[in-house]
Amino acid sequence: MVVHNGYSFSILTPDGPLPEYTFPTSSPRHTKTIYVEVPTGSTSFTLHVKPTHLVKLKDRSHRFNLSLDGFSSATACSITSAFPITLINGITFTKFSIPSPDGDKIDKRSLSFQPVQLELDVSSGQTAKNDQLGVVKVSWQKIWTVVEWEGRASLRNKGVSPAEVLGKDDVREANGLSHVTRIGSAADKPSKVNYGVSINPFSPVYRVRFVYRSRAALQTLGVDLERDLIRGGEAVDGDSESGWCGLRRLFRTMFGKSAKKEKKISFSEKK
């Protein structure tokens, strides 16, 4: 796991947590970056966030956003005293939110990694440029208040939707790209959003970036699978059991309702 600003983060698959390795270059301010090793084939995954220790309730209230290959989920998850169980169990991103056509409901879709499908006839000039390919990112900020969702603003995703087929230029620019993320098909029917939050505008944006590659791709990038492995208890610290992201039941109660070779790797800080 990677530890940053009082939280631990890990990507989980049906076979357990993904192996993690140190990243060779420094990250921007308030950001931690690590490599994770994905299986050769396709696999589903979730992402777990948990407080590293108990602190004053007022200090542990943040909203977390998930993005896959630069494409952000339409809704976020919160760890906050408004939902006390999250202060102990944390939250787990089990689904990715896509807004319905009317913008006031969401489709919850599964998350997975899949091997890159390369089409030699497709170049980066024919597809939307995406300098976040091969990166799963969580960003978070401090919450001021939790409020009942009133649908005042349309829900939307930000960024470029992950492509299932890539051109050779896309793969070349992504430094050893072996896999991409995939968002599953829509659920039976869209879900309603139950609550929203107001963000402290003075809070810095913290980020954890998982640069995911196959074992062979990591070795090509110069990663030593023994030396660079992040073992238990050796998590990377930062600046300073499964929870439910929706927390619908608690919300209803609350509101009264039922020395190695380094390769230059750059990322955009666009959210």
**122, 192 Cβ separation under 8 angstroms:** no
Give pLDDT, residue 265.
44
Give pLDDT, residue 205.
95
Percent of the chain exceeding pLDDT 70 equals: 70
What's the pTM value of the predicted model, to 2 decimals? 0.81
Q: Write the pLDDT tens digit of every residue in 194-224.
A: 777 888 888 899 999 999 999 999 999 999 9
Q: Which two tokens stand for residue 84?
A: 């006390």
User: Mean of the per-residue pLDDT values for the chain?
Assistant: 79
DSSP 75: S
Amino acid at 82: A
Most confident of 31-35, 76-80, 101-105, 156-160: 31-35
DSSP 120: T
Residue 236 has pLDDT above 70, yes or no: no
Q: Write the pLDDT tens digit of every residue in 172-183.
A: 666 789 999 999
Separation of alpha carbons 136 and 220, rounded Å: 20
Measured CA to CA in angstroms, residue 9 lies from 49, 81, 142, 264 at distances of 5, 20, 17, 25
**104, 190 Cβ separation under 8 angstroms:** no
Residue 8 has pLDDT above 70, yes or no: yes
Residue 146 has pLDDT above 90, yes or no: no
Separation of alpha carbons 65 and 197, rounded Å: 12
**97, 149 Cβ separation under 8 angstroms:** no
Give pLDDT, residue 34.
96
Q: Write the pLDDT tens digit of every residue in 50-107.
A: 998 765 555 568 999 999 999 999 989 999 888 889 988 999 999 999 988 777 788 8
